[in-house]
Amino acid sequence: MIYEVRTYRLKPRMVPSFLDAFGEAYENGRKQLSPLAAFFTSEVGPLNEVMHIWGYKDIGERDAIRAEAVASGVWPPAVTDMIHDMNSEIFRPFPFMTEFLSGEHGPLFEYRYYTVNNGTMPGIIKGWEDAIEARKELSPCAMAMHTDVGNLNKYVHIWPYKSFEHRQQVREDGLAKGVWPPKGSPKGAIVTQDNKLLFAAPFSPLR
C-alpha cells in the first residue's frame, strides 16, 4: 500500500470555493474510481493550505486510476485558478499500520512531520512498534508513514483529537505515564520536527 499526499497552497480566501469545486467533482465521479483517505484544511501552520491523501495498491494502480479519471472527464476539478503552489509526496505506511483510520475521530487533526538522519528510519520504526499500542490507549493514530518519493528520510504521523484541549491533555498524559514519545528510537536520529493543525473537509472519510 502507498499513500499520495498532495498539498496545495491556495490563493487567499480561496479555500471555501476550492472545497465546493473539489467536493462536487469528488462525489460525482472521482470517488467511484478510488476514495480519499482524508482531506484536510490548515488551521495552524501555513494558511490557505489544503491536503488530500489518496491510498493506492502501488504506483501502477495510482497511474492507471489517475489516467482513467482524466479520460472520463470527471477529474481534475475546476480549481486551477485558485492554486498558488502544488506538492506531491508518496509514502509507505509503517509495517504495523494496517490501514488509514476512518470515521468520526476529530474534528482536530495534528499532522507531524519529521526528518531524520540517513539510515535511521528502521530504528525509528522499531521504536514506534514497541510503543504504539500504549500510546493508542490515550488516543488513536490515523497513520504513520515514511517517504518513498519526495523529500527522503521523512516520516509523518497524524493524530485526531476532539479539541485543542484534548490534544494538550493527551500529550501531557503520554509524558506523565512514560509511554510517549517512543524510547526505543535511535538517539540523535531526528534532525527537524514540524507540525500543522488541521480540520477535515465535510467529504473526508476521516473527520
Tens of pLDDT, residue by residue over 78-128, are: 999 999 999 999 999 999 998 999 999 999 999 999 999 999 999 999 999
**Confidence tier at 195 by pLDDT (50, 70, 90):** very high
Distance CA 108, CA 146 (A): 22
CATH 3.40.50.300 fits 2-200, yes or no: no
Q: Would you kindly state where each structural domain of the chain is located, as residue ranges?
A: 2-200
Reference 150, options 29, 1, 4; nearest CA is: 4
| Residue 172 phi, psi (nearest 5) | -65, -40
pLDDT at 184: 82
Q: What angle do CA 14, 16, 19 make, to 5 degrees?
A: 105
Whether pLDDT at 177 is above 90: yes
Mean pLDDT of 35-40: 98
pLDDT digits 0-9 by tens, 113-171 = 999 999 999 999 999 999 999 999 999 999 999 999 989 999 999 999 999 999 999 99
Whether pLDDT at 187 is above 90: no
Distance CA 135, CA 178 (A): 10
Strands 2-10 and 49-56: antiparallel
pLDDT at 185: 83
Whether pLDDT at 52 is above 90: yes
Mean pLDDT of 67-87: 95
Mean confidence (pLDDT) of the chain: 97
Q: 3-state SS of the chain?
A: CEEEEEEEEECCCCHHHHHHHHHHHHHHHHHHHCCEEEEEEEEECCCCEEEEEEEECCHHHHHHHHHHHHHHCCCCCCCHHHEEEEEEEEEEECCCCCCCCCECCCCEEEEEEEEECCCCHHHHHHHHHHHHHHHHCCCCCCEEEEEEECCCCEEEEEEEECCHHHHHHHHHHHHHHCCCCCCCCCCCCEEEEEEEEEEECCCCCEC
Label residue 3 exposed, middle or buried (CB < 10 Å: 0-12, 13-18, 19+): buried
Distance CA 55, CA 129 (A): 22
pLDDT at 81: 97
Cα separations in angstroms, 198 against 10, 61, 64, 136, 172: 15, 28, 30, 20, 20
pLDDT at 98: 87
